[in-house]
């Protein structure tokens, strides 16, 4: 399966639309399950972003390929060991 972040967004918006369907709304348990799985994927993506940040932007299989982000002007990026990045909140 080769799903990307855009696919996740599409599934989540489809869930919202199904919940709002007055004729045949989605069951709440199913919507909750979808939301829980989505949160797990999001948490995994956060770890992937943290990893990419600490290895100078190695490409991801989850996020669409783009140019390497430019560092903010006027300040240095804080570089921490990858292990420390996982134990602190994602900013």
Q: How far is CA 87 from CA 1, 40, 81, 90, in A?
A: 29, 17, 10, 9
User: What pLDDT sits at residue 48?
Assistant: 82
**Beta strand segments in the chain, E:** none
pTM of the model: 0.56
Question: Over the stretch 39-91, which tens digit does the pLDDT of each residue have?
Answer: 998 898 888 888 777 777 666 666 666 555 555 555 555 555 555 445 555 54
The confidence score (pLDDT) of residue 33 equals 94
Cα 5 from Cα 45, distance rounded (Å): 9
């Amino acid at each position: 399966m080769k799903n990307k972040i855009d696919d996740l967004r599409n599934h989540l918006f489809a869930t919202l639309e199904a919940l709002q369907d007055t004729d045949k709304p989605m069951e709440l348990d199913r919507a909750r399950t979808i939301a829980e799985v989505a949160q797990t994927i999001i948490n995994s993506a956060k770890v992937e972003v943290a990893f990419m940040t600490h290895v100078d932007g190695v490409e991801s299989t989850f996020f669409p390929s783009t140019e390497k982000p430019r560092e903010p002007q006027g300040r240095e990026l804080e570089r921490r060991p990858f292990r420390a990045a996982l134990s602190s909140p994602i900013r």
